[in-house]
A and B are shown apart, each in its own frame.
Chain A
Amino acid sequence: MAFIPHTEADVAAMLAAIGARSIEDLFAEIPPSLRGSSLAGVPEALNEMEIGRLMSERATQDGTTLSFLGAGAYEHHIPAAVWAITTRGEFYSAYTPYQAEASQGTLQTIYEFQTMIARLTGMAVANASMYDGASATAEAALMAVRANRKSRSARILVPTTLHPHYRRVAVAMASNQGLKFEELPYCTVEGVTLPASLGKYQGEDITALVIQQPNFFGRLEDVDALTDWAHARGALVIAVVNPTSLALLKPPGEWGSRGVDIAVGEGQPLGVPLSSGGPYFGFMTARMEHVRQMPGRIVGRTLDAAGREGFTLTLQAREQHIRRAKATSNICTNQGLLVTAATIYLSLMGPQGLERAAAASHARSRELVAALTRTPGVRLAFSGPCFHEAVLLLDRPVAPVLKALAARGILGGLDLAPYYPELGPALLVCATETKTAADLERYRASLGEALQGARAA
């Protein structure tokens, strides 16, 4: 039997030790009326060779494409060492480090990760991860309600320039606890949050303001002004940031005159493959004064009985296994293995490598935009600087154009019509360091042909 090592003699000896006649006897406490699941809907077993063939066929069916999709998940080069080490059994097949003495490898890796993420964001503390960037944003909103003791409203201001899926996840995960998410409009000329839209909140009780940098359109928000505006009104600031961009952009710990209160983001760009959407990991950081309001695991360094340094899970009194109904969150299992990958990735990239990845991505996306906007019928949606993605406006609906490109093996970006219909035919495109000049040219030429085809039709 697959993965079960028992011989017939083992089974006989074990049943004799138990004093049972058959394995079936061991289930005698289950009421007979409940028994009898046939599993008819589960197919017969495949052996390893057969499953290998099946999976290769499925993978081949999906094919390989030249992708200019971003929108929260980014294709970056992943050094070979990252997953070669991450998939070592000692990392891959261990669990949450409950027995600290037998888990120093995982614990130290998390401690190094917390340090790297804190340094990248300019914040004091980081936790050991959340599920993804979207759920981290939802948890940050819940945390802000706990941390902002002066505010009673549980009102969270959310710019519509925050990733639309993040906004939906925040509502799904946090509104049951009475949080109210109020959306702020953006400037359709500049693609950033409209400062004038804040005016109507003058004098009102706001618990927190969320700011995504770069925002969903790739545009850079005036983070200093927004941060100071919120702090002046007693609101906390939650930053949602792209970790690659932080090699170039001001870290949230330095936004405005005193920095943000909580910074979260999607960790996928740090060595995690796109993989149809997961597993990724969310990171979460905060000012030290809020550490006891953080959800999730946190690793600390301490001393052992011999006075030597070692690592352990700490501040566990926040967590569900201790505090139960009063815990800061119900999160238990997080995204540990992806944190291991990210820690190795950041070690290999270092400050210089990460800066190069960010700079090269920025440069490629500018070249892409320049190339595509030379095509008749294509123009840039917003004025002002972007980081590694941008919104283009077409002179006709986007969906058929993307379909024509996909038929040529090119994923041309994300059609924004379902998310921002007011923009008209808008397309979010992204290019990272993985794209070559030839790739950009192939997209440009194919887009021209696709538009011409659409025109002819």
Chain B
Amino acid sequence: MPSREKVIFEYSQAGRGASDQWPHHPGSAALADLPAKLKRSKAPALPEVGELEAVRHFTRLSQLNFSIDTHFYPLGSCTMKYNPKACNQYAMLPQFLARHPLAPESHGQGFLGCMYELQEMLKEVTGMQGVALSPMAGAHGEFAGVAMIRAYHHARGDLKRNEIIVPEAAHGTNPATATMCGCVVREVPVNSSGDVDLAALKAAVGPNTAGIMLTNPSTLGVFERGIEEVARVVHEAGGLLYYDGANLNAILGKVRPGDMGFDCLHMNLHKTFSTPHGGGGPGAGAVGVAARLMPFLPIPIVAREGERYRWLAESDLPQSIGRLSAFMGNAGVLLRAYIYMRLLGRDGMRAVGEYATLNANYLLKRLEAAGFEAAYPERRASHEFIVTLKRQARELNVTAMDFAKRLLDLGFHAPTTYFPLIVPECLLIEPTETESKEVLDAFVAAMSQIQKEAQQEPERVRTAPHTMPVRRLDDVRAARHLDLTWTPTTQH
């Protein structure tokens, strides 16, 4: 990889600028009406660079990244599959980009039609009765879901239900969401096979249960086999079931959350429907609900009336949990998901779950054959699986983090490390359906090489990476000596 790149402010020269990009100055007379006491006294110290300097700087920065387009990126729970170029190109047609969010429906029938069809397709693949598209990420969708569950109980006068149950292996966003919704979290354990401990669940539910948040397949990379019983127990206690759609890719076209008994869910369109992850977003966290939660869906929603599409607003949905974005959520991301779904079609969508599962199970078996230990060896992998390196940590003093960093040297993005928290020294590996057998084989070879190095020259692994733009970074220093903005004096 290329070596490091200066901070853009270090290129800055007073008086330089990409002036072709700038409008003409209207002259100071045009600003005469602005009162002096409300004006800025000193120009903001933004960089002053030419266009070519900026282009080179940011191009070089991009080259310091691993990405799906350049590297295998088996980051478990994140579904780093290929983002088709067509989705980006057609979502960026000039008319789509120029359309103002408050433009009238008469000048948005094409866009609204796409959104309506997206809602319908998402209902079909999840088995839900209603869909709203505006939540802007998975956690935002979780918020909408739990807020709807709470609103549902409140609307029935059942005000004391404020407990949200989550398995101990859940994504951190689940308990954090429950808190944001004013609920209390109760964790339930999973048993040694990776399924929810039903006895513990039965003991946990009661008159205060608002609902349960579950990922299925779970964060342990296995299908929750007791899901029907979980649904029965929670429903009989008066609670609702929330489906965290982070792992929907595994079961697309095979089984639907609605058929498993879930009342409410979010879908990570940036995972299952392949919109770009963008270095940390934007995502899109559309929500789906069963009939009894439909009145509470967040606005806006697109409705079809005859041949016309229109927005549903507060007046159409008086019990709605309200508005979660200034306008229409991440509309451009939604367009990309729509294009992806149309490109896949019915058969392609079914193939997603099948080949994601095939790739994961193949990679798991190959890694097991190479001597790595599966966390749940008796279980089928879903679209992802967990390898535990506790033996390597104990016997060789080489940790999951060391393996992860050494993988970078060998040209692979690391899997998710140290999540879920309940499996020691774990790597959560999700290859996705878009990777070829050759790539998976190369990954197995890299893991085997690292295993060999861990035995023969462990220091090489413990001090990895060696070939990246930086060596391992001092996170403790980063938190103790906060350096969050550049100033000339912060140069070391």
B and A form one assembly:
yes
How far in angstroms is the closest Cβ of chain A from B57? 7
| A34, B276: Cα distance in complex, Å | 31
Show 15 A/B contacts (Cβ-Cβ < 8 Å), sorted by A: A17-B362, A39-B124, A40-B124, A62-B107, A69-B102, A69-B103, A99-B413, A120-B44, A247-B40, A273-B332, A276-B103, A314-B482, A327-B179, A333-B137, A350-B48
Verify B139–A332 contact, CB threshold 8 A: yes
Instruction: Flag whether A348 is at the interface (Cβ < 8 A).
Output: yes
Q: Which of B64-72, B287-295, B445-453 touches A?
A: B64-72
Apart from A42-B346, A99-B408, A360-B25, what are 18 other A-B pairs with CB-CB below 8 Å? A26-B357, A30-B225, A37-B254, A104-B470, A108-B5, A116-B47, A132-B325, A132-B326, A277-B327, A278-B333, A300-B483, A303-B474, A330-B176, A333-B139, A338-B278, A347-B47, A348-B18, A350-B49
Interface positions of B from 1 to 55, Cβ below 8 Å from A: 4-5, 7-9, 16-19, 21-27, 30-31, 33-35, 37-41, 43-49, 51, 54-55
Verify A330–B143 contact, CB threshold 8 A: yes
Verify A85–B437 contact, CB threshold 8 A: no
Instruction: Flag whether B227 is at the interface (Cβ < 8 A).
Output: yes
Instruction: Flag whether B253 is at the interface (Cβ < 8 A).
Output: yes
Instruction: Flag whether B400 is at the interface (Cβ < 8 A).
Output: no
Interface positions of A from 63 to 94, Cβ below 8 Å from B: 63-65, 67, 69, 71-73, 75, 77, 79, 81, 83, 85, 87-94
Verify B279–A13 contact, CB threshold 8 A: no
Which of B78, B102, B365, B414 is most buried by chain A, counting CB atoms within 10 A of its CB?
B102
Contacts of A163 in B (CB 8 A): 326
Which of B99, B147, B326 is most buried by chain A, counting CB atoms within 10 A of its CB?
B326
- Bitwise, B276-311 to A at CB < 8 A (1) or not (0) is 111111110000000000000010000000000000
> When the two chains form the complex, which single residue of A110, A248, A354 contacts B31, counting CB atoms closer than 8 Å?
A248
Instruction: Flag whether B192 is at the interface (Cβ < 8 A).
Output: no
Verify A91–B65 contact, CB threshold 8 A: yes
Verify A131–B136 contact, CB threshold 8 A: yes
Verify A41–B120 contact, CB threshold 8 A: yes
Verify A172–B281 contact, CB threshold 8 A: no
Contacts of A65 in B (CB 8 A): 98, 103, 107
Verify A330–B325 contact, CB threshold 8 A: no
| A397, B306: Cα distance in complex, Å | 28
Verify B259–A37 contact, CB threshold 8 A: yes
Contacts of B33 in A (CB 8 A): 366, 385
If A55-B339, A114-B484, A359-B26 touch, whether A303 touches B473 (CB-CB below 8 Å) is yes
Verify B35–A18 contact, CB threshold 8 A: no
Verify A276–B108 contact, CB threshold 8 A: yes
Interface positions of B from 155 to 188, Cβ below 8 Å from A: 171-173, 175-182, 185
Contacts of B34 in A (CB 8 A): 220, 248-249, 362, 385, 387
| A62, B110: Cα distance in complex, Å | 6
Q: Which residue of A lies closest to B5 (CB)?
A: A108
Verify A5–B349 contact, CB threshold 8 A: no
Verify B277–A94 contact, CB threshold 8 A: yes
Verify B125–A100 contact, CB threshold 8 A: no
Q: Which residue of B lies closest to A225 (CB)?
A: B37
If A251-B44, A333-B270 touch, whether A39 touches B125 (CB-CB below 8 Å) is yes
Instruction: Flag whether B469 is at the interface (Cβ < 8 A).
Output: yes
Instruction: Flag whether B235 is at the interface (Cβ < 8 A).
Output: no
| A209, B450: Cα distance in complex, Å | 56
Verify A352–B470 contact, CB threshold 8 A: no
Q: Which of A173-181, A230-238, A372-380, A442-450 touches B?
A: A173-181
Instruction: Flag whether B317 is at the interface (Cβ < 8 A).
Output: no
Verify A101–B46 contact, CB threshold 8 A: no
| A302, B75: Cα distance in complex, Å | 25
Verify B175–A306 contact, CB threshold 8 A: no
How far in angstroms is the closest Cβ of chain B from A28? 7
Instruction: Flag whether A309 is at the interface (Cβ < 8 A).
Output: yes
Instruction: Flag whether A322 is at the interface (Cβ < 8 A).
Output: yes
If A3-B82, A353-B18 touch, whether A101 touches B100 (CB-CB below 8 Å) is no
How far in angstroms is the closest Cβ of chain A from B476? 9
Instruction: Flag whether A19 is at the interface (Cβ < 8 A).
Output: yes
Verify A320–B109 contact, CB threshold 8 A: no
> When the two chains form the complex, which single residue of B26, B46, B55, B326 contacts A85, counting CB atoms closer than 8 Å?
B55
If A349-B18, A356-B25 touch, whether A302 touches B64 (CB-CB below 8 Å) is no
How far in angstroms is the closest Cβ of chain B from A254? 8
Contacts of A159 in B (CB 8 A): none
Verify A108–B61 contact, CB threshold 8 A: yes
Verify A323–B176 contact, CB threshold 8 A: yes
Count residues of A near B (Cβ-Cβ below 8 Å): 202
- Bitwise, A36-50 to B at CB < 8 A (1) or not (0) is 010111111111100
Verify B93–A73 contact, CB threshold 8 A: no
Verify B355–A325 contact, CB threshold 8 A: no
How far in angstroms is the closest Cβ of chain A from B98? 6
- Bitwise, B462-492 to A at CB < 8 A (1) or not (0) is 0101001111111101110111111000101
Instruction: Flag whether A126 is at the interface (Cβ < 8 A).
Output: yes
| A172, B40: Cα distance in complex, Å | 34
| A35, B281: Cα distance in complex, Å | 33
Contacts of B101 in A (CB 8 A): 73, 274, 276-278
- Bitwise, B384-397 to A at CB < 8 A (1) or not (0) is 00000000000000
| A441, B63: Cα distance in complex, Å | 47
Contacts of B106 in A (CB 8 A): 406
Instruction: Flag whether A57 is at the interface (Cβ < 8 A).
Output: yes
Verify A320–B81 contact, CB threshold 8 A: no
Instruction: Flag whether A169 is at the interface (Cβ < 8 A).
Output: yes
If A34-B255, A276-B328, A278-B327 touch, whether A26 touches B140 (CB-CB below 8 Å) is no
How far in angstroms is the closest Cβ of chain B from A16? 10
Which of A100, A291, A317, A406 is most buried by chain B, counting CB atoms within 10 A of its CB?
A100
Verify B358–A26 contact, CB threshold 8 A: yes
Instruction: Flag whether B422 is at the interface (Cβ < 8 A).
Output: no
| A270, B354: Cα distance in complex, Å | 42
How far in angstroms is the closest Cβ of chain B from A142? 8
| A261, B265: Cα distance in complex, Å | 36
Verify B474–A92 contact, CB threshold 8 A: no
Verify B51–A81 contact, CB threshold 8 A: yes
> When the two chains form the complex, which single residue of A1, A99, A346 contacts B351, counting CB atoms closer than 8 Å?
A1
Verify B18–A2 contact, CB threshold 8 A: no
Q: Which residue of B lies closest to A92 (CB)?
A: B276
Contacts of B322 in A (CB 8 A): 168-169, 171-172
Verify B325–A98 contact, CB threshold 8 A: no
Verify A79–B21 contact, CB threshold 8 A: yes
Verify A337–B182 contact, CB threshold 8 A: no
Q: Which residue of B lies closest to A68 (CB)?
A: B100
Q: Which residue of B lies closest to A411 (CB)?
A: B103
Interface positions of B from 366 to 384, Cβ below 8 Å from A: 366, 369, 379-380
- Bitwise, A406-436 to B at CB < 8 A (1) or not (0) is 1000010010000000000000000001000
Instruction: Flag whether B62 is at the interface (Cβ < 8 A).
Output: yes
Verify B479–A353 contact, CB threshold 8 A: no
Verify B100–A69 contact, CB threshold 8 A: yes
Verify B281–A39 contact, CB threshold 8 A: no
How far in angstroms is the closest Cβ of chain B from A436? 11
Verify B343–A48 contact, CB threshold 8 A: yes
| A452, B438: Cα distance in complex, Å | 71
| A414, B104: Cα distance in complex, Å | 10
Interface positions of A from 287 to 318, Cβ below 8 Å from B: 288, 291, 297-306, 308-312, 314-315, 317
Contacts of B278 in A (CB 8 A): 91-92, 94, 335-338, 340
| A72, B328: Cα distance in complex, Å | 13
- Bitwise, A146-185 to B at CB < 8 A (1) or not (0) is 0000000000000000010110110111001110000000
